[in-house]
């Protein structure tokens, strides 16, 4: 199995901590963002699942996996005949990009029955000529390990494919930064904000705040914040991943992931199915019986894990808990911020500092199927991590912005005040699944937070009931 666990960031941190605890970090003048994803190679493009949601991995055996249609059924997305994101733009911000992303997206669409995007643009955000695709950087998997280029390539496929799958009619823009350094990604976003007003931005990356509180580079943080203020003023929405290494990222001190912790970003934490069935063997579901496997509910008679009858077809939402997979050494981020106080929209939630906002499926054993060709041939991967949630939430907001356009309204823009308005309204129970089970304590860590009724820092206000949530986002 191949995993990306913010390895480069944590390795640097290990060199900068004193034996007595966390000491000043004085040698960090520039920081590098890392993608928040975990992945398992399933096999060649022709590899077929055993019977969704059961896949067979050479390294792990049977593992739960989901297609776009499976996820959309679980979270109650509206029919694409009603809303598909038409007229909206989703900007995916990534470092390095992928030399095969256009063909990967076409293969993904063909395999999973997703319509081709209205437009797909590769935008070289921090190049001298942003619209000149020939100047875009490409992934070099044997490149500098500090920047984790291979992981960024798979991240790019995940982000583009699943933002598009959730809002197939939206314009997709891949905003490519030349490296994963903070200033490169900031510059890429500056250019895209200027080029695409009113867009929805997905950022499936971050850096633990500890790097920004001990003599890090405040200029890069300020630059990022300026971007977000500029963006929301013109109707942009920003989403970011909460991280994949628990409430403390392995440091023993609770902290958030930046830029998810910025006041104008909506931070997406992770969930996994409840009950969390490994689906390692064929499991029967009896006649007229409702059976649950992870995110989905099935109606019997059927046999979970079969491709042919009596195979099971999902009919709705099963349940979720906080994402925490000790066998993979991974758990969702979710903790009070070290950088930012309680914003006005989070007042009254008994928080001591800025906390994360919403949740979405992030399980590895229960990940989504992604096509990536950057290793020489198209391969199928099962991908988890909070990286999966940010682009799919971006798709949701694109659908909501289309619904607003149908009502002659502008884009949502700054999302968090709207979300917490819904949370405090009678519509909360209709629009969100309240996650009340599980915790984000990384295996081996002393720090973690438990889910509970209503808002909590492990799962925010919960995961979406998309068709209901869009009604209220459109009306806001």
- pLDDT tens string 88-145: 999 999 998 888 999 999 999 999 999 999 999 999 877 655 555 555 655 444 445 5
Domain residue limits at 429: 37-271+322-475
Tell me the pLDDT band of 47, cut-offs 50, 70 and 90.
low
Structural domain includes residue 255: yes
Q: Is residue 148 part of a domain?
A: yes
CATH code where residue 390 lies = 3.40.50.200
CA distance 413 to 48: 40
Q: What's the confidence (pLDDT) of residue 311?
A: 72
Query: Has residue 439 been placed in a domain?
Result: yes
The pTM assigned to this predicted structure is: 0.91
Q: Is 270 helix (H, G, I), strand (E, B) or coil?
A: strand
Region 332-356 average pLDDT: 97
- Per-chain mean pLDDT for the chain: 86
Residue 182 pLDDT more than 60? yes
The pLDDT tens digits for 417-451 are 999 999 999 999 999 999 999 999 999 999 999 99
* Residue 307, in any domain of the structure: no
For residues 192-219, average pLDDT: 88
User: For residue 228, what pLDDT band results from cuts at 50, 70 and 90?
Assistant: very high
User: Is the pLDDT at 49 greater than 70, yes or no?
Assistant: no
Q: What average pLDDT does the segment 153-161 reach? A: 96
Question: 300-330: per-residue pLDDT in tens?
Answer: 887 766 666 777 777 889 899 999 999 999 9
* Tokens of residue 255, six digits: 């902290």
- Residue 35 scores a pLDDT above 50: yes
pLDDT grade for 290, boundaries at 50, 70 and 90 = confident
Let me know if residue 280 belongs to a domain: no
Q: Exposed e or buried b for every residue in 403-438, given b needs 16+ CB within 10 A?
A: bbbeeeeebbbbbbebbbebbeeebbeebbbbbbbb
Comparing 63 with 199, the larger pLDDT belongs to: 199
Q: Quick one: pLDDT at residue 310?
A: 73
- State the DSSP code for 301: S
Tell me how many domains the chain contains: 1
Decide if pLDDT at 6 tops 50: no
Instruction: Return the pLDDT at 62.
Output: 76
For residue 375, pLDDT beyond 70: yes
Hunting for tokens 């919960």 — which residue is that? 462
Q: Report which of residues 106 and 212 the model is more confident about.
A: 106
Asked if residue 165 belongs to a domain, the reply is yes
% of the chain residues with pLDDT over 90: 64
pLDDT at 206: 96
* Mean pLDDT in residue range 172-189: 92
- What is the structure's pLDDT at 119? 95
With residue 400 as reference, give the H or E element that holds it.
helix 389-406
pLDDT band at 20 (very low <50, low <70, confident <90, very high): very low
Tell which residue, 189, 87, 193, 103, has the closest CA to residue 378: 103
Asked whether the predicted pLDDT for residue 73 surpasses 60, the reply is yes
> pLDDT at position 75, please?
97
> Pairing state of beta strands 237-241 and 265-273?
parallel
How many other β-carbons are positioned within 10 Å of the β-carbon of residue 373? 19
pLDDT value, residue 29: 47
pLDDT of residue 18: 26
The burial of 276, by beta-carbon neighbours within 10 Å (0-12 exposed, 13-18 middle, 19 or more buried), is given as buried
Backbone angles phi, psi at 305, to 5 degrees: 100, 10
């979720």: which residue's tokens? 320
| Residue 5, pLDDT score | 33
């Amino acid at each position: 199995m191949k995993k990306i666990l913010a390895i480069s960031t944590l390795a640097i941190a290990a060199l900068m901590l004193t034996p007595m605890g966390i000491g000043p970090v004085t040698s960090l003048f520039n920081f590098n963002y890392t993608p928040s994803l975990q992945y398992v190679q399933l096999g060649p493009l022709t590899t077929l699942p055993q019977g969704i949601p059961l896949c067979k991995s050479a390294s792990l055996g049977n593992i739960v996996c989901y297609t776009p249609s499976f996820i959309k059924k679980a979270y109650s997305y509206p029919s694409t005949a009603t809303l598909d994101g038409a007229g909206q733009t989703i900007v995916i911000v990534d470092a390095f990009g992928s030399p095969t992303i256009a063909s990967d997206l076409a293969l993904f669409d063909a395999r999973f029955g997703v319509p081709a995007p209205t437009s797909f643009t590769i935008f070289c955000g921090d190049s001298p000529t942003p619209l000149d695709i020939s100047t875009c950087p490409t992934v070099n998997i044997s490149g500098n390990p500090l920047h984790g280029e291979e992981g960024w390539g798979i991240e790019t496929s995940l982000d583009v494919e699943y933002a598009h799958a959730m809002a197939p009619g939206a314009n997709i823009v891949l905003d490519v930064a030349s490296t994963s350094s903070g200033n490169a990604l900031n510059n890429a976003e500056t250019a895209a904000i200027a080029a695409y007003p009113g867009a929805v931005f997905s950022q499936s990356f971050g850096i633990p705040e500890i790097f920004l509180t001990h003599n890090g580079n405040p200029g890069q943080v300020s630059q990022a914040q300026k971007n977000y203020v500029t963006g929301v003023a013109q109707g942009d929405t920003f989403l970011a991943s909460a991280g994949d290494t628990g409430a403390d990222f392995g440091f023993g001190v609770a902290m958030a992931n930046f830029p998810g912790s910025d006041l104008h970003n909506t931070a997406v934490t992770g969930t996994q199915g409840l009950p969390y069935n490994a689906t390692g063997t064929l499991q029967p579901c009896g006649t007229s019986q409702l059976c649950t496997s992870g995110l989905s509910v099935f109606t019997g008679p059927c046999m979970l894990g079969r491709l042919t009858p009596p195979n099971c077809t999902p009919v709705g939402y099963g349940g979720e808990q906080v994402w925490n997979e000790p066998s993979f050494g991974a758990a969702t981020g979710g903790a009070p911020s070290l950088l930012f106080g309680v914003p006005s929209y989070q007042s009254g939630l008994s928080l001591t500092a800025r906390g994360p906002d919403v949740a979405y499926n992030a399980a590895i054993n229960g990940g989504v199927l992604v096509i990536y060709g950057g290793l020489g041939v198209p391969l199928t991967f099962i991908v988890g991590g909070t990286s999966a949630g940010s682009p799919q939430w971006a798709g949701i907001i694109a659908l909501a912005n289309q619904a607003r356009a149908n009502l002659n309204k502008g884009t949502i823009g700054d999302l968090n005040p709207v979300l917490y308005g819904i949370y405090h309204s009678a519509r909360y129970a209709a629009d969100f699944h309240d996650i009340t089970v599980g915790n984000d304590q990384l295996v081996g860590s002393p720090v973690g937070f438990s889910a509970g009724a209503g808002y909590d820092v492990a799962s925010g206000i919960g995961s979406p009931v998309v068709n209901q949530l869009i009604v209220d986002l459109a009306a806001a």
